[in-house]
C-alpha cells in the first residue's frame, strides 16, 4: 500500500511557510504516494485547501489527525515536543532538525522509533545533492529579503539620481559574508543601483562578488578561510583583529550593513560592535541575518527592529518566511527531489539507502537508532599531479595529437630553407612575369595564414578552421569566372576547353559544400556555449 505523506501547519510563531505546495503535490502523487495536508497549512503562503484538493491531496481537519495517520511527515521548522508526542510510532520525519543544536529533540524522536532525515545535514559538497539543498534555496530568498528590509528602513533611494531638486548620491552597502545569502544580497543591492562592497574569509568568492556588481574588500591579513561543506571556518585571533579594523572603517563610510556570517553549530560571531554602530551615520541600517543564533551585531535584538545611536538594526529571524510563497515553492521542490531519490521505483515506498552518500548524510536517526553524525562522504579522488620531469615527454607526445608539432631540429630546418630557396630561384628564373605576380601573393597568403593558425590554441582549431574554410571559399569566384568568362570588346567570350570547364564546375560543388559545412559546424559549436 502506498505511504501517506502528511504536511502539517507550522506551529512556530510567525512561520508562514508550508512544506509542500499544490504543484508539487501532483508530482508526489505520480510517484505513487498519498498526500494529506492539514486544513489551513498553506493559507499564509497563498496555497488554499481547494488548491490542494484539486492537486490530489486530502485535507485533514487538525494536526493530531494528520500526525497520527501520516507515514512520512514533511516539515519546515524542527518539530516541538508537542508535535513529537503526536507522531506515530516508527514514522518518518523530513525537514530541518539541526541535530547539533537540539540534542533533546533527537532523543525524543529516537524514543518514537522514528526515521529522521534532516535536510540541514545534507552533504553539500556532493554535486548531485544540489537539487536537494534546501539551505541554499532558503538562504537565497533570505538574502534577497534582507535587502528589501534594508530599503524599507533606509530613508533614501538606493540608486543615485539627478533631479530638478538636487542630486541624490547612491547608497553604499557593505555585506559581511559572501555565501549564498550574501551573494543574493549583493546581486539585489547592485540591481537597485547601490554601490556594493563585500567581504568574506574565503578568497575564492572574490570573483563571484565582482561578477554580481560588487567590490571585494580584502582583509589585510593572509589566512585561508575555507571550511568544509561550503562554509567558512573560525579564523585566528590575528585575522579577526585585522577584520575588525576593516569593519570599523566600512561602518564609518557606508549607509547599510548586511551581515550573514554564521557557522552551523556555533554561536554567530560578533562582527559589528556597539562602538562601530555609534560611528555610523544617522539613518543608517544594519540587517543582521544571523539574529536567530545571537546575531553578528552586539546590539541586535532577535526578532525585532530596534534603533540604537540613530541606526536601525533589523534582527528579523523569519526573512525567508516573509516571502512565503516563493520560499515554500523552492523548499517543496527540494523535498520532491529528495523523495525521488528515496523512491526510485515510483511505487509509493521509500528506501533509506545508506550506500548513497547523500541519503546517508541526511539520515540522523534510522528506526530509532541515532546515526548522526554521518561519516564523511566518499569524494572522487583528485587527479594525480604530473611530475615535473614528465612534462617534456608529455609535451613531445602531444605533438602527435591535435594542433601541436614537435619542433624541427636545426639541421632539418636548414635543409627545408635550402630547398625552398632553390624552388624560388627556379620559379623566378623561368616563370613568366604574370605567373610570378600571382605566385608571390600565394606564398605571402600561405605564410600569413600559417602564422595566424599556428598561434591559436589547439582546442579552438575546429571552430577556427570551419570559419576560415568558409571564408576562403572565395575560390568560388575564380571558378565562376572560368564557367562564365567575361565578354571581350566584340561581345564574344573566350570559352575554356572541356577539362578546365569540368574542373571549374567541380570546384564550385566542393566549395559550396565547404562554405555551408563550415558555417554549419561553427554555428553548432557556438550553440554549445549558449544557454
The whole-number pLDDT of residue 402 equals: 46
The whole-number pLDDT of residue 226 equals: 62
Q: Give the 3-state secondary structure of residue 202.
A: coil
The whole-number pLDDT of residue 472 equals: 60
Among residues 145, 97, 95, 74, the alpha carbon closest in space to that of 318 is found at 145
Q: How far apart are CA 289 and CA 175, in angstroms?
A: 11
For residue 487, the cross-strand partners are 493
Residue 166, H or E segment: strand 166-168
Task: Report the first-to-last Cα separation within the chain, whole angstroms.
Answer: 43
Q: What is the pLDDT along the chain (531 residues), one digit of tens a residue?
A: 899 999 999 999 999 999 999 999 999 999 999 999 999 999 999 999 999 999 999 999 999 999 999 999 999 999 999 999 999 999 999 999 999 999 999 999 999 999 999 999 999 889 889 999 999 999 999 999 999 999 999 989 999 998 898 999 999 999 999 999 999 999 999 999 999 999 998 888 999 999 999 999 999 887 765 655 555 566 788 888 999 999 999 999 999 999 999 877 678 999 999 999 999 999 999 999 999 999 999 999 999 999 999 999 999 999 999 999 999 999 999 999 999 999 999 999 999 999 999 999 999 999 999 999 999 887 666 666 555 445 544 454 444 444 444 555 778 878 887 887 888 788 777 777 767 777 777 777 777 766 766 666 665 556 556 555 655 656 777 777 777 776 666 666 666 678 888 888 888 888 888 778 777 877 777 777 665
Q: How far apart are CA 256 and CA 269, in angstroms?
A: 19
Q: In what order do the strands lie in the sheet with 369-370?
A: 58-60, 34-38, 4-7, 72-74, 92-95, 115-118, 363-366, 369-370
Length of the chain counted residue by residue? 531
Q: How far apart are CA 66 and CA 60, in angstroms?
A: 6
Q: Are 219 and 176 in contact (CB under 8 A)?
A: no
Residue 440, H or E segment: helix 433-454
* Residue 75, number of CB atoms within 10 A of its CB: 24
Q: What is the pTM of this model?
A: 0.72
205 phi and psi, to 5 degrees?
Answer: -85, -5
The whole-number pLDDT of residue 231 equals: 55
Q: How far apart are CA 368 and CA 243, in angstroms?
A: 45
The whole-number pLDDT of residue 208 equals: 95
Q: How far apart are CA 106 and CA 125, in angstroms?
A: 25
Q: How far apart are CA 260 and CA 187, in angstroms?
A: 14
Please state at what angle helix 498-527 crosses helix 461-471, rounded to 10 degrees.
Answer: 140
Amino acid at each position: 500500500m502506498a505511504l501517506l505523506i502528511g504536511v502539517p501547519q507550522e506551529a512556530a510563531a510567525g512561520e508562514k511557510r508550508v512544506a509542500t505546495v499544490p504543484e508539487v503535490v501532483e508530482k508526489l502523487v505520480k510517484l505513487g504516494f498519498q498526500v494529506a495536508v492539514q486544513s489551513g497549512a498553506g493559507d499564509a503562503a497563498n496555497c488554499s485547501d481547494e488548491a490542494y484538493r484539486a492537486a490530489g491531496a486530502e485535507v485533514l481537519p487538525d494536526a493530531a489527525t494528520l500526525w497520527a495517520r501520516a507515514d512520512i511527515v514533511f516539515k519546515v521548522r524542527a518539530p516541538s515536543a508537542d508535535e513529537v508526542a503526536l507522531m506515530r510510532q516508527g514514522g518518518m520525519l523530513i525537514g530541518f532538525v539541526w541535530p547539533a543544536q537540539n540534542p533533546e529533540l533527537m532523543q525524543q524522536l529516537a524514543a518514537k522509533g522514528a526515521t529522521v532525515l534532516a535536510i540541514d545535514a545534507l552533504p553539500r559538497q556532493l554535486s548531485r545533492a544540489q537539487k536537494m539543498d534546501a539551505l541554499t534555496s532558503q538562504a537565497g530568498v533570505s538574502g534577497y529579503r534582507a535587502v528589501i528590509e534594508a530599503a524599507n528602513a533606509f530613508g533614501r533611494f538606493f540608486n543615485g539620481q539627478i533631479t530638478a531638486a538636487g542630486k541624490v548620491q547612491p547608497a553604499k552597502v557593505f555585506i559581511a559574508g559572501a555565501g549564498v545569502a550574501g551573494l543574493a544580497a549583493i546581486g539585489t543591492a547592485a540591481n537597485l543601483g547601490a554601490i556594493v562592497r563585500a567581504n568574506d574569509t574565503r578568497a575564492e568568492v572574490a570573483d563571484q562578488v565582482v561578477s554580481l556588481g560588487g567590490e571585494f574588500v580584502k582583509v589585510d591579513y593572509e589566512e585561508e578561510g575555507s571550511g568544509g561543506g561550503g562554509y567558512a571556518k573560525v579564523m585566528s585571533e590575528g585575522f579577526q583583529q585585522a577584520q575588525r579594523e576593516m569593519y570599523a572603517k566600512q561602518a564609518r563610510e557606508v549607509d547599510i550593513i548586511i551581515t550573514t556570517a554564521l557557522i552551523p553549530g556555533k554561536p554567530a560571531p560578533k562582527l559589528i560592535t556597539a562602538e562601530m554602530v555609534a560611528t555610523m551615520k544617522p539613518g543608517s541600517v544594519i540587517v543582521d541575518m544571523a539574529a536567530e543564533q545571537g546575531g553578528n551585531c552586539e546590539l541586535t535584538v532577535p526578532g525585532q527592529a530596534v534603533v540604537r545611536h540613530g541606526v536601525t538594526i533589523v534582527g528579523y529571524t523569519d526573512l525567508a518566511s516573509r516571502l512565503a510563497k516563493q520560499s515554500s515553492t523552492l523548499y517543496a521542490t527540494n523535498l520532491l527531489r529528495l523523495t525521488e531519490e528515496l523512491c526510485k521505483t515510483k511505487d509509493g515506498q521509500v528506501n533509506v539507502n545508506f550506500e548513497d552518500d547523500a541519503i546517508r548524510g541526511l539520515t540522523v536517526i534510522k528506526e530509532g537508532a541515532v546515526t548522526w553524525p554521518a561519516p564523511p562522504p566518499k569524494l572522487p579522488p583528485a587527479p594525480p599531479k604530473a611530475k615535473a620531469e614528465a612534462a617534456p615527454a608529455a609535451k613531445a607526445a602531444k605533438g602527435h595529437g591535435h594542433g601541436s608539432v614537435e619542433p624541427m631540429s636545426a639541421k632539418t630546418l636548414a635543409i627545408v630553407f635550402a630547398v625552398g630557396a632553390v624552388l624560388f630561384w627556379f620559379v623566378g628564373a623561368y616563370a613568366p612575369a604574370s605567373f610570378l605576380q600571382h605566385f608571390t601573393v600565394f606564398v605571402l597568403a600561405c605564410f600569413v595564414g600559417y602564422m595566424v593558425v599556428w598561434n591559436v590554441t589547439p582546442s579552438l582549431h575546429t571552430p577556427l578552421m570551419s570559419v576560415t574554410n568558409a571564408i576562403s571559399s572565395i575560390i568560388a569566384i575564380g571558378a565562376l569566372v572560368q564557367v562564365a568568362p567575361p565578354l571581350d570588346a566584340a561581345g564574344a567570350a573566350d570559352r575554356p576547353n572541356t577539362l578546365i570547364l569540368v574542373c571549374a564546375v567541380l570546384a564550385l560543388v566542393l566549395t559550396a559544400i565547404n562554405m555551408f559545412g563550415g558555417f554549419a559546424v561553427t554555428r553548432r559549436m557556438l550553440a554549445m556555449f549558449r544557454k
